Structure 1
Amino acid sequence: MTNTTLITNVRTADGARVDVSIAGGRIAAIGPGLAREPGVHIEDGADALLLPGFVEGHTHLDKTNWGLRWYRNEVGPKLTDRIENERRWRAQSGHDAGAQSLALARAFMEAGTTRLRTHVDIDTDAGLRHLEGVLATRHALRDVFDMQIVAFPQSGLLGRPGTDALLDGALAAGADVLGALDPALIDGDPVASLDLTFSLAQRHQKPIDIHLHEPGEVGAFTLGLLLDRVAALGMQGQVVVSHAFCLGALPERERDALLARLADLRVALLTTAPPSVAVPSLKACLEHGVTLFGGNDGIRDTWTPYGSPDMLERAMLIAMRNGLRRDDDLALAFDCVSSVAARACGFEAYGLQAGARADLVLVDADTLAHAIVARPPRKLVVANGRVVARDGALVQ
């Protein structure tokens, strides 16, 4: 693709037939019948549906076994079983976070994802090794793939001395966001854990994305403590709570009170919409003005055999988990892996409008709802103005 390109004969989700002019990696214009200037490269969209590049809001590129031989999962049922099993297996197998994160990132791009937030384990056994591998992947794809890295203490913050110093080093080395994990049930002291997390984030002027698996009243208590700190420290709009399973199980009155606080403090929620546990309701979040976006979590790793780098599939799973069947409701699920996810993560210049980064996906589908449920091969994927995939395969 040249520096100036015109994609013709495509349809937007609202049914409009348009052309898209791309220059310097940005959308220069979008509308019907754009002029064919001399020397401009023409891509015939052949009546395809035009979508913005997809956004993966929460995954773990460093953990994946994507493309490797099948991992036989015999891990125990507890969260700590999975944590300990993974640490042991990665050390024994020599799992290469650099090679594996690159393989999965390329698979995401092939399927239409152009922006991604990945959590990377920071561990007292591995140090910053996994981070270094993912930083190398980000550098390798820097011209086309917009990646945020979360420094994530998978074993908790307080239980393994030295973790806070490693997180400090990870943020200094290039991680964009500070992660955290279950301050009550993993760290055992939610006050101390949250105080240290917020102190680290403020020291580096970084946002926070916390895994909160804690159920019911325990999770609600931790969430309340977190919101207290957001308010006291002026970190409105800088915190994401991933999973937030407690919000799917609380009585409606208590849930709604927390949703109101989340909205007021502009704290976003991330859901993977798993079928096996209670999850925050998309409709309830929308009614209260809470931002809820989507992601896969782990993909084909020692935790789970499931997951896919296709964000249309994740949109479908979010829709199914929330009982969405109408075409307009399916569009809400797509927002969770596109515009809402971009806003929640802070990805700039996103969307299908002049001036936005030229991240585009073309699919053979009648409508957006059709694309979500059928998940056809991507006819064309454009990232930062460049064609990166054609007919379901990477071109670079």
Structure 2
Amino acid sequence: MFITNVRPWGGDAVDLEISAGRIAAIRTVGTGAVTGDASGRKLDGRGRIALPAFTDVHVHLDSTRIGLPFREHTGSPGVWNMMCNDRKNWRDTPIPYPDVVAGTLERMIARGTTRVRSYAQIDVDCKLERFEAVMAAKERFARAADVEIMAFPQAGLLLEEGTVPLLEEALRAGATTIGGIDPCQLDRDPARHLDIVFGLAEKYGADVDIHLHEPGHLGVFSAELVFERTRALGMQGRVSLSHAYDLANVHPDVTARLMEQMAELDVAWATVAPASGGTQFDLVQMTAAGIRVGLGEDGQRDYWSPYGNCDMLDRTWQLAFTHRLRQDRLIEHCAAIATIGGAAIMDRTVQRLTGPDDRPGLAVGDTADIVIVDGETVTSTVMDRGTDRTVIHAGRLVADGLVVLAEPAA
């Protein structure tokens, strides 16, 4: 496949040659032989910006109302109350629930996301029904996106008997990550909660992701219990903290200690760019310390909140906005986090970001996962969030004009 006249990271225009799913050559526009045909093997980039395709490392595909009518928000504050509201309503959809889940993934791909780590809620209410819907969506769009599934105990591990065997069943059925959530606040037995999570990870060779909404020093306590188990089990590079938005809201020395441990143990951080009223981890400090940072969209217009539109470019804008960033290089850094930053969490062979000026993902030898977007500069693209987008996955044209192709080009 040949992609002509694109500007990688907003730089000079080039032609890209794609072979075996990777970028095989990069040439100044018009300086090399370009062949192809109308089936999609030759693509005119029309001077648009080429970015690595987006990576969403924190999305709940199973918790979505994308494509359904808006409804009044009925949730109450608190994880347990919000979970109960979701549990009460998630089956009430005018079209089959698996189609809602698949439609959400399709919309994400159409907007440029080709790497996804999705949660799948598993509890005594839904059992594996939600997991199976996410698995079906993954299989349906296997040629257009790489999807990892996390077995996630949204209701905790210890409050309802029978949760742990269901999580094991999901791990045997194809989940590659095991989740945990608020070990102190929800289950109120952090050591037992984390022993179960890490025990399952060790047994099934799974990665670990801990949802951490806990405030202040309670969150610090839980995080350091996670670090202890990561070190003891030799799971460096296979553990991530999601949210963790209050770990930077404690004494600066404590935050610095946490960052040192994350860097030492290669514990990644997945943020959804929340509208936090306090201090958040500094993006520049995190990547400069060697910590893998990724971005996600969380729930998608679900029973937890009305937010979410399946557009990681929109969430990139939100990341820059909530971190109060204005300089072009820092807004571009947000785009790097939303693309290659998350990819390095899902695939440890992907080059991680080394600092705020690093712009990897579009060099010879890189996987040809590319989103081509309109804009004068990367910053203008983030600000304007245009709709003229073309999406390449593993060297194949999979979406154009916000529409996923029915049969991706071979």
Q: Same-fold call, TM > 0.5?
A: yes
Matches within 5 A, 1:326-337: 326-337=327-338
- In the other structure, the counterpart of 2:211 is 211
Alpha-carbon offset, residue 94 of structure 1 = 8.5
Task: State the alpha-carbon separation in 1 of the partners of residues 79 and 37 from structure 2.
Answer: 58
Determine whether 1:307 maps to 2:303. no
Q: Do the aligned partners of 1:111 and 1:378 also contact (CA within 8 Å) in 2?
A: no
Residue type at the aligned position of 1:385: G
Assess if the C-alpha contact under 8 Å between 1:115 and 1:347 holds in 2.
no
The 8 Å contact of residues 112 and 389 in structure 2, kept in 1 or not, is answered as no
Q: CA deviation at 1:287?
A: 4.5
Question: Match for residue 33 of structure 2?
Answer: 35
Whole-angstrom CA distance in 2 between matches of 1:287 and 1:386: 33
Q: Which amino acid aligns with 2:281?
A: P
| Offset at residue 277 of structure 1 (A) | 4.4
> 2: CA distance between counterparts of 1:307 and 1:325?
23
CA distance in 1, matches of 2:68, 2:348: 31
**Pair 1:356-2:366 in alignment:** yes
Give me the whole-angstrom Cα distance separating, in 2, the residues matched to 1:43 and 1:94.
39
Write the mapping of 1:269-284 to structure 2, written as runs, cut at 5 A. Answer: 269-278=269-278, 279-284=280-285
Instruction: Give distance in 2, aligned partners of 1:128 and 1:391.
Output: 35
Question: Is the alpha carbon distance of 1:169 and 1:94 closer, same or farther for their aligned partners in structure 2, counting shifts above 3 Å?
Answer: farther
Q: Which residue of 2 aligns with 1:367?
A: 377
Identity of aligned residues (%): 35
CA distance in structure 2 between the aligned counterparts of 1:120 and 1:96, rounded to whole angstroms: 17
How many angstroms apart in 1 are the aligned matches of 2:227 and 2:364? 37
> Where does 1:1-396 land on structure 2 (aligned, <5 Å)?
5-13=1-9, 15-32=11-28, 33-37=31-35, 41-91=41-91, 96-278=96-278, 279-346=280-347, 351-396=361-406
Deviation at 1:95, TM superposition (A): 8.0
Question: Structure 1: how far apart are the matches of 2:4 and 2:309?
Answer: 30
Using the TM superposition, give the Cα deviation of residue 183 of structure 1 relative to its aligned residue in structure 2, in angstroms: 0.6
2:307 is paired with a residue whose SS is coil
CA gap of 1:221–1:122, structure 2 versus 1, over 3 A, is same
Q: Distance in 1 between matches of 2:90 and 2:243?
A: 25
SS in 1 for 2:15: strand
Deviation of 1:379 (Å): 3.2
Aligned partners of 1:349 and 1:194: how far apart in 2?
A: 28
Deviation per CA, 1:237-279: give whole Å up to 9, x if none. 1001000122131111111111111111100111111114443
CA contact (8 A) 1:212 1:243 kept: yes
The 8 Å contact of residues 122 and 167 in structure 2, kept in 1 or not, is answered as yes
Q: Which amino acid aligns with 1:372?
A: V
After TM superposition, the structure 1 stretch with the greater mean CA deviation from structure 2, 63-72 or 94-103, is 94-103
TM-score if structure 2 supplies the norm length?
0.91
Once the two structures are TM-superposed, the CA of residue 386 in structure 1 deviates from its matched residue by 2.2
Aligned to 2:357: none
Task: Provide the rounded CA distance (Å) in 2 between the counterparts of 1:276 and 1:152.
Answer: 24
Deviates further, 329-338 or 7-16:
7-16
The CA deviation at 1:64 is 0.2
Residue 315 of structure 1 deviates from its aligned partner by 1.1
Query: Could you list the per-position Cα deviations for residues 190-231 of structure 1 after superposition, in whole angstroms to 9, with x for gaps in the alignment?
Result: 011111110010000111011010010111011111101111
In structure 2, what is the Cα distance between the partners aligned to 1:63 and 1:390? Answer: 26
Report the number of matched residues.
392
Instruction: Quickly say closer, same or farther: Cα 1:96–1:217, change in 2 above 3 A.
Output: farther
Structure 1, gaps ≥5 residues long: none
Query: Shift in Å at residue 356 of structure 1?
Result: 2.9
Measured against aligned partners, the alpha-carbon deviations of 1:98-152 in whole angstroms (never above 9, x if no partner) come to 2122101111111111111110101112111111111111111111211010100
Post-superposition offset of 1:385: 2.2
Question: Structure 1 residues 55, 38: closer, same or farther in 2, change over 3 A?
Answer: closer
Residues of 1 paired with 2:26 and 2:88: CA distance? 52
| Structure 1 residue 289 displacement after superposition | 3.2
List gaps (5 residues or longer) in structure 2: 352-360
Cα offset, 1:96, TM superposition: 4.6
**Contact 1:21-1:34 within 8 A present in 2 as well:** no
After superposing the two structures, state which structure 1 stretch, 384-393 or 92-101, moved more. Answer: 92-101
Q: Is the 8 A contact 2:343 2:350 kept in 1?
A: no
Instruction: State the distance in 2 between where 1:334 and 1:35 align.
Output: 31
Residues in 2 aligned to 1:377 and 1:93: alpha-carbon distance in whole angstroms: 28
> Do the aligned partners of 2:90 and 2:303 also contact (CA within 8 Å) in 1?
no
**Compared CA separation, residues 186 and 83, structure 1 to 2 (3 A):** same
The one-letter code matched in structure 2 to 1:382 is I
SS at match of 1:290: coil
CA distance in 1, matches of 2:382, 2:71: 29
Q: Give the root-mean-square deviation of aligned CA atoms.
A: 1.9
Cα 1:121–1:304 shift into 2, 3 Å: same
Q: Following the alignment from structure 2 to structure 1, what is the Cα–Cα distance between the partners of residues 82 and 95? A: 16
Cα drift, residue 34 of structure 1 = 2.9
1:160-200 superposed Cα distances (whole Å, 9 cap, x missing partner): 11111111110000011111111110011001111111001
Of 356-365 and 323-332, deviating more is: 356-365
Q: SS where residue 62 of structure 1 aligns?
A: strand
